[in-house]
Each structure stands twice: as structure tokens, then as C-alpha cells.
Amino acid sequence: MSSIKEKFNQISPSEFFYRNRDLAGFSNPTRSLYTAVREFVENALDACDQKGILPDVHMSIKAVDPEKPDPKPYILTVKDNGPGIESKHVPLAFGTVLYGSKFGLKQARGMFGLGATMAILYGQITTNKPVLVKSSTDGKIQDEFELLLDIQKNKPVILKHTTKEVTKRGLSVSICLEGDYAKAGSKIKDYVYETSLITPYATITFDDPKGEKFHYSKIVNEMPPAPTIIRPHAHGIDVETIRRMMVESQFEIPNIDDAMVEKVRKDLGLAKNNLAFTGIMDKAKKRWKTLSRPVRVVISLMSFLKMDFDKLSKIRIEDIDVPNKKLYYWDFGDSQSKSVDMDPESQYYKQLTGTVQGETLTTFLTKRFQRIGPSTAIKFAEFAGFKPEKRMGSMTNEELVKLSDSLQKFEDFLSPDPSCLAPLGKKKKKKGMKKFFKPDFCAVIQRPASAYSGFPFIVEMGIAYGGEIRPGGPHVYRYANRIPLLYDEGSDVVLKVVNDTDWSRYKVKGEPPFVIVTHICSTRIPYKTVGKENVADRQEIERELRLGLQFLSRKLAAYMSKRGQAEMAKKRANLYAKYLPLIAQFCTELAGKTKEPNYKKLLEEEIIVDDKQS
Amino acid sequence: MTTNKAKDRKQKANEKQQNIIDALKDHGAKVYGDLDNGQFPKFSIPSRSVSNIVYDKKLRQYILGNSAALRSSRNSSQLRSFTQLMWLAFFANRLTQEKKSSTLRDVYYSSQAFAIEFEDQSESDNIIVDLEAVLSKPREDFHIFPEERSSIFGDLNIEYTIPGYEGKKMNLSNHPDGYAIGPSLTTAELVDTSAEIVIAIEKGGLFTRFVEEQVDKKFKSIIINTGGQAPRSTRTLLKRLHDEMGLPVIVLTDGDVYGEHIAMVIKSGSANAAHLRELTVPDAKWVGVWATDIEKFKLPTIPMTESDIKRCYDLQSDPRYQEGIWKKELDVFLKIKRKAELEAFSKYGLTNITDKYLPQKLELAKSL
């Protein structure tokens, strides 16, 4: 066991990723170029999001030698107007794997900033060129680094470091890597296009190797509110998670070493005097109120062990078994494990259990989980069949399982706090979709927050119809945490839900000009594969998608029937306007009259009738 | 005496024209009145759906029942056809006033000058039938004629009544290719004839043979080529020859179910024209080729097709085929499932049909 662990530790994270680069999406020149683009653009957007800066991201891909056939070396540069990285952090941030600032429970595009380092690693492997990082945090001085990664040591090697005066803040990263733009180009263009749809507050520019420029200006001038870091939600938490949370909630059993004994003696005023067991207890009773918690715990232990300080220094406490009221210790003298019973009536027992058993159930719930107040906690305890003052530490394994089951089943918890999530918001989404698709009809919905396995998520959805949308829909645009998902459509939960829908029920027929945009925000997206391209069909997510789509479909159906009616009315009005004058003309001659009948009244009347209908 | 008769006829023709013009004017005035009163004009058309076509035993033809459809300009789905019909009435009025004639195809094209679009000729043909039904008059009365493909030959003197030819006379045996039966002939006065019978024959080829073999002289007959199913104008002329000149009419067709029905339509009209009277010759006789003739004259035959057989079954449910020769021959056709054309007689020589078959049949017709 221990030898395997040692071996594993000997591989540096850099080396591990170097050996497993396929996992991170760097399997071939086509995929690698696309993944590298994604990682850098997403990092740039994340950096701006976190500081509330409207992103202005400029990306360019240039061939080192345009004449060479693909795959060939390309220089990929991504520049942003974000906060930049402090000079001293740059080498570590870009020259080591697993260095990042994105740990914590909140929504972000990437988890740990790993991907960018992977891209740098891949570039270095394929072209043996350093990464060029330019960073300015104050908009005055810019640090410029040329870095290589020492793969085996997982350490940056600084080739060059200069500074220069600038006028703009931000970060620019430039790597040289082997890629195949001929094959990856259309995906990269799609990626840039679709990214700009879900980040309507960002300006994104892309200069491609063929000299084409793609520019998407920001459509809205307001950032979505930034996510905050929060506690977990009660729904979908498992036994293992509860165990880990409990460890945090308990006071540790004090380690009774010489220093500890010294402290107790000092606090009892017995630093010099050596009293017998009963004397010590008497002294402690008198001074109880002034004693600190660790000292009280030691005294309590001594009360059951019936030992003085000499004896105490010859044992080690092994376990405090609260349910069975037993105290186990190791006796160095006899070299064996011994136990004593604890009297539950004793005041020292309460002191011990209060420490060892940790918080009461209600305190545990209100303090460790989000959105649970005292009254909900008491209601839950009743529901789960626990006493509200039940100590967490006193729970048996079976009780923990029962607690975990009940936490999932109890329905009166408030839905998860979505403040750790950053959905785009209905207004921005609608504005973005309108600007992008120029539809006749557009509706969006943001579903209330829900959770799967303890991770909150929000489904945002939009539907657009008609206008400049090309026919042959529904065209589905999938997003997760503001990342467009372009590959592996077929196995995605969104596609499953869309394909299950019978569109004719919503008056959508034939090859409709019709777009669906879905955005799943979560602290953790349940991707099916490491490639982050398709979302697994988790029941909770599928349900939210389904409800969202149903809501939007009904809106669409209402629009479609209104549109149908309006078209009909217009058609009819046109028909009357066209034919009544002809009828008038013909019957005038037939009837042998010279003046046409006054049919204009009829035309006006028809328009009034139509107005009433619509 | 003759002049008196002629005068009578002329007066009759004028009356007929005036009737049509009056009917059209009434129709126009009603629509005009509705429009002027701020109402959506509407009128009813006798329904020509199958369920409303019934056989009248007394008249010996199909007629329309009592059900009628309302056509309203308020209904946007009828607005187009409403307007088309109004245009047609307007167009027919001009034709009749100016004594000009027009073909079905003409109508289709003329409509385009008035921004009345017909999808195709069958749509405009249909509107023409609608107007016939509204006015209860055949389209020939309002000067719309089908493309002509039938012709006539024989000793018959006529006198034209159409503008430009009024009073001009003509003998219909002067030209061996025969005379096309068009508006000028159907409206001409039938002055006199030496013929004693009218022979209507289905095919142009046999018509030419009959002229060559001087059937008109040998059998004192007027020969008419119906060109398949007899057009309305031909049926009108047949009726006039029968009614005005007192000539019996016999019909000679191919020996198949279609031939039999060509004869039937001359005799009692078609379901398509159930809204019209005066197109039938109830006394007309079908003399052949019968199914029984095929065996009797040992004619070369060809097998009936699927559609031939289906047509037989269709006609079996027609009330006019429930008795007499009509039923009998239909049953035999179905039994032998073979058919023979008029030309089949050529097997026994080109003149066999005129020398042998026709005389027998003419004799037989007297007893039918």
C-alpha cells in the first residue's frame, strides 16, 4: 500500500498530464488547436468576469510558415483586458500544472485553470518553443516573460523577463503549437460565434490564419452578477460528505503529551505541588469556571480514569466511545489496551460528550448547510426521526445513512441558493438572441435553481422563431457555464429532450426557422466525458430542461396561432381589397349602370371585424 | 310560307338572345344592389355534386335535384370563384350583345386581360358550367363554344344567321370533307333536306369512308362525325335535325363500352350536363357495333382493359342501363371481355361495312 503511494507521488503533475494529454483534449493537431483556443479564451473571460470587467478579448492564429501543408506550427495569441497576473505569480501560473486560483464552490468556465497549462505543455512538446506571457495589473508597467516548463520537476524555467511601459491593463498569452487549421477552422469559428451569443457583454475578435477577421461587439453593457462561494445544499448530499462535514464540526480529542500536562498543572495552580487524584479533582472543581476547554477535557478524562498526573503521562487515549459509554486507552506500562466505563450521570460525561459528539443536529444543519433556519431544522429532525439536540458525533453508521436519506427526501428545504451560480439572466439572454438571430419571436426562461448530488444548477433557455433564422430547425445551441458545446451532440441530454418533443403539437411544422438555446449553469456540470462536450442525462437536469422547454413551447404555440390568425386576417383583407372592386366593375356593366356601387363601406367594415378578432 | 317560317325562327332566335341578356342583367343588378347597400353579394347555384344528380324518367335524362349551394363574397375562400363567375357573366354579356362567339380556350385567355387569373383551363371551364347552372342555359346560348372536331355531310340546305352571313345559303353536300359543326351551323336555319335519316358515326375515318361510298345518297342520309363523345353543339344540331326536320337519328360506334355510352349521351345526355335540358335526342337509336355483333359478324377483337371492365361495372349501376338493349349488350361485353372497332369490318373488305353491315342495321333500326 505505502510503496504504491510513494511511486505515485514521484510522478510530477506535469509528467502525469504529459503522459495522459489525450484526457484533456490534446489528442491530435485538429482537436488540440481547438482545445487550446477554448482554454485561453475561457480563462480570459473568467478573469474578466471575476473582476466585473466587460471583457474585450482578442484572439489570433497565425501560421509560422503559411506555405507548409497542415498540420503545421501555429502561433496562438489571446489577449484580454482583464486584471492581469501579478509579476511574481506569472512563472508559477504558467509554468506549473495545478497552480490556479479557481478552487471553491462557485460557477466558472474552467475548474482549476488546468487547461491553459496543458495547452502550453502541448505547444512545448510539439514545437519546443516557449510561451510568451505579457501581463499588466496596473495599466502602467507590463511584465513580459518567456517561459518553458520543466516537465519532470513541474517547475517553470524563465528564459527571459523584461518590463515595459504600457497604457492598458490585461494579459496576453502567446504559444506556438502544432495544429491543423484546415480541419479545426470551422469549429473554431463556430466556437467564437457561439461564445459571443452567450456572452453578449463581451467583445470578441478573431483574426484567422487566412487573414479573415471575425468581430463580435458587445450587445449589452451590463455584467451578470458575479457568483459567490457558498455552503452545500441539503438535497443530494451523501453519507461520505456528511462524514467529512462532521469531522470539521468536532473538537479534536486533546493529545495528552507532557506539554499538555504541564499546562493543566499550571492552570490548576499545581505546577510545583504534586497532589493525589482526589486532590486534583477538588482543585479542578473550585477553579472550573476559569479553565479553558482543552483543560476541562483533560480533567474530565482523568475523572473516569481515576489517575494522577504521573499515571496520566503513561497512557494514550485511544477512543471515546460515546454510545457505549466506554473510554479506551493504551497503557504503556502493561503494553495493552484497556477500558473504563463512563458514568453518564457525571458532569464530566457531559463535558466529554459535548466535545466529542460535536454539534447538535439542528446546529449542524443550520451552520453547515445553506438556506436551513432553526425551525426548518427542527421540522426536519422530526421528519427524520431524530431528537433535534441529537449530537452528530453520537450517530451510528445506520443513523448516518438514515440522516442522508432523509436529507434527500425532505421536501421543505428551500431550493438551493443560486448565488453561487451566474446565469446570464433573462433580459441579457433575450437581447443577445434577438440581436443574433433577428427573429420574429423570441422567448426566454430561467428555471428556478435545483440540485443534483448536492450541486446546485440553473437551466436557462431561449427559443426564437422566424425572421432571419434559416429553415430546417430546430437548431440547438447548447451551453454549459457559458461555454458552447460543439462536439458529440447526439448523446447530449439537451438533444434527448428536444428530440422527445412533438413539435406539431405546438403548431410548428415542416422545416421551421427555429432556434433553441440552452444554458446549464452549475458549480459542477456532469459532463459525460472529459472532453466537456456533452452533458449526462441526470434526471434532475433532464426534468428542468423538459419543464423549461415545455414552457417556451407553449409560448411559441401561442405566438404561432396568433401569427397564423394575423396572417389569415391580412390575407383576407387583401383578398377583399383585390376582388371587391372587380366584382363592382363587372356588375356595374352587367346591370347597365354607369356609376359603380359604393362597396368601400364593406372594405372598412371588414377591417373593423378583423381588428376585433385580433 | 317559307319566309313566314324564317321570320318565326328569326324572332325565336332574337327572343333567346334577349332572354340571356335579361338573365345576365338580373344577375348583375342583384349583385350591384347588394354592394350598394353595404352587403356582401351572394347567390345560389344548384348543386352539381353527385348526390344531387338524379335521373328523371319522364325527361329520360339526368337532372339536378333541389339542393343548392350558396356562393357568398363574404366567404374569403369563395371570393375568388365568386369574382371569376362575375367576370364570366360580364364577358358573356359582351359576347352576346356583340354577337361574337368564343371558345373555352378563348375564355381562359381573355380572363387574363381583366386580372382574373384562372389556374388552368379546367378551372375556367368549371366556372362556365357554374354560370350555365346559375342561368339554366347552355354556354352556347351565351356564345361560348368548345373547340370543334365534329363534322357533317349530306343534302341539307341551311341559311346562316350569324352577323356578316345573314341570309347566305349553303348545301352541306358540296364539300366531300364535310363541314365543321360550329356556332354558325348550330345557329343556322335548317331550310330543307332530301335525307330521311341522320347517321351519327363515332370516327372520322369511317365518316370519310361513308362519304366516299356515297352513303348519303345510297341511304338518303345526313352523316355526322361525332369525333368520339359528341360535343354539345353536335348534340344541339342532332336535336334540331330530329325535332325541326323530323329525321330519325341512328348512332354507330365502336363495339365497346365507351361506344355504347357515346350513343347513350346523344340519347339522354350526360351527368356533367345534368343542369341543362335541350341537349338530348331521346328517340336516337344505337345500332352498333353491339357486343352481340362481334360474334355474329365474326369480327376480329382485342381484349378489354382493366379500365374498360371497370367502366362496365360503373355503367351497370346507371339507371339508364337497367333495361333493353343497353343492359343486354353491357352484360355481353362483360361476359366476353373483348371489344371490336368499326374498322374491324375491313377484314372482309373496305366496303364491307357500307355494303353489308349498314343496310342490315338500317333495316333493324326501323324495328327498334
d(CA A68, CA A75): 14
What was the pLDDT predicted at A7? 45
What was the pLDDT predicted at B64? 85
How far away is chain B from the Cα of A599, in angstroms, using its nearest Cα?
Answer: 5
What was the pLDDT predicted at A612? 42
Whether the CA torsion B286, B290, B291, B292 is positive or negative: it is positive
Residues B246-263: tens digit of each pLDDT = 999 999 999 999 999 999
Q: Roughly how many angstroms between the first and final C-alpha of chain B, as a whole number?
A: 35
Residues B49-62: tens digit of each pLDDT = 778 888 888 877 88
Residues B190-200: tens digit of each pLDDT = 999 999 999 99
Assigned CATH topology for domain A427-614: Ribosomal Protein S5; domain 2 (3.30.230)
d(CA B108, CA B101): 14
Q: Roughly how many angstroms between the first and final C-alpha of chain A, as a whole number?
A: 77
B29/A587 Cβ within 8 A: yes
User: Which pTM value belongs to this model?
Assistant: 0.53
Between B5 and A565, where is the model more confident?
A: A565
What was the pLDDT predicted at A504? 81
Buried b (16+ CB within 10 A) or exposed e, A483-494: bbbbebeeebbb
Whether the CA torsion B161, B165, B171, B175 is positive or negative: it is negative
Run of H or E including B197: strand B197-201
- Tell me the chain B residues in contact with residue A570 when contact means C-beta distances shorter than 8 Å: none
Chain A interface disruption, residue of B25, B34, B35, B85, most A CBs within 10 A: B35
The one-letter amino acid code at A100 reads G
Question: What is the residue-averaged pLDDT of chain B?
Answer: 87
User: Residue ranges of the domains in chain A?
Assistant: 10-216, 239-248+359-409, 251-356, 427-614
d(CA B301, CA A467): 66
SS3 A191: helix
Tell me the Ramachandran region of residue B154: left when phi exceeds 0, alpha when psi lies from -120 to 50, beta otherwise.
Answer: left
- Tell me the chain A residues in contact with residue B78 when contact means C-beta distances shorter than 8 Å: none
Q: Which CATH architecture has domain B194-367?
A: 3-Layer(aba) Sandwich (3.40)
B36/A586 Cβ within 8 A: no
Residue A339 contacts residue A317 (beta carbons within 8 Å): no
User: Residue ranges of the domains in chain B?
Assistant: 2-145, 194-367
d(CA B297, CA B300): 9
* CA B294 to centroid of chain Cα atoms: 28
Please identify which residue in the block is written with the cell numbers 375564355.
B107
The one-letter amino acid code at B349 reads G
Which stretches in chain A have pLDDT values below 70?
A: 1-14, 16-18, 23-24, 96-114, 229, 236, 247-254, 323, 356-357, 454, 488-490, 529-532, 605-614
Give me the residue from A579, A580, A587 closest to B32, CB to CB: A587
Assigned CATH topology for domain A239-248+359-409: Helicase, Ruva Protein; domain 3 (1.10.8)
Residue A194 contacts residue A202 (beta carbons within 8 Å): no
Chain A contact present for B41, CB below 8 A = yes
What was the pLDDT predicted at A79? 92
Q: Tell how strand B249-252 and strand B285-288 pair up.
A: parallel
* CATH class of this structure's domain B2-145: mainly alpha
The DSSP symbol for B220 reads T
The DSSP symbol for A350 reads H
- Tell me the chain A residues in contact with residue B116 when contact means C-beta distances shorter than 8 Å: 582
SS3 A76: strand
Query: Is a pLDDT exceeding 50 seen at residue B65?
Result: yes
SS3 A62: strand
- Tell me the chain A residues in contact with residue B31 when contact means C-beta distances shorter than 8 Å: 583, 587, 590-591
**B256: its cell numbers:** 365497346
* CATH class of this structure's domain A10-216: alpha beta
How many Cβ atoms from other residues are within 10 Å of residue B329's Cβ? 22
Whether the CA torsion A100, A104, A108, A111 is positive or negative: it is positive
Burial of A102 (0-12, 13-18, 19+ CB in 10 A): middle
d(CA B121, CA B124): 5
Chain A interface disruption, residue of B21, B42, B43, B76, most A CBs within 10 A: B76
How many Cβ atoms from other residues are within 10 Å of residue A201's Cβ? 21
What was the pLDDT predicted at A2? 41
B86/A583 Cβ within 8 A: yes
DSSP B226-270: --SSPPHHHHHHHHHHHHHH---EEEE--BSHHHHHHHHHHHH--
d(CA A514, CA A474): 5
Please identify which residue in the block is written with the cell numbers 470539521.
A248
d(CA B94, CA B104): 15
Give, in order, the Cα–Cα distances in Å from A383 to each of A378, A398, A407, A409, B1: 9, 16, 10, 10, 121
Closest CA to A483 of A230, A253, A202, A291: A202
Chain A contact present for B82, CB below 8 A = yes
Tell me the Ramachandran region of residue B99: left when phi exceeds 0, alpha when psi lies from -120 to 50, beta otherwise.
Answer: left
Chain A contact present for B31, CB below 8 A = yes
Burial of A112 (0-12, 13-18, 19+ CB in 10 A): middle
Residue A171 contacts residue A134 (beta carbons within 8 Å): yes
Judge whether B109 counts as a catalytic residue.
Answer: yes
What was the pLDDT predicted at A104? 41
Number of inter-chain CB pairs under 8 A, A vs B: 84
ipTM of the complex: 0.73
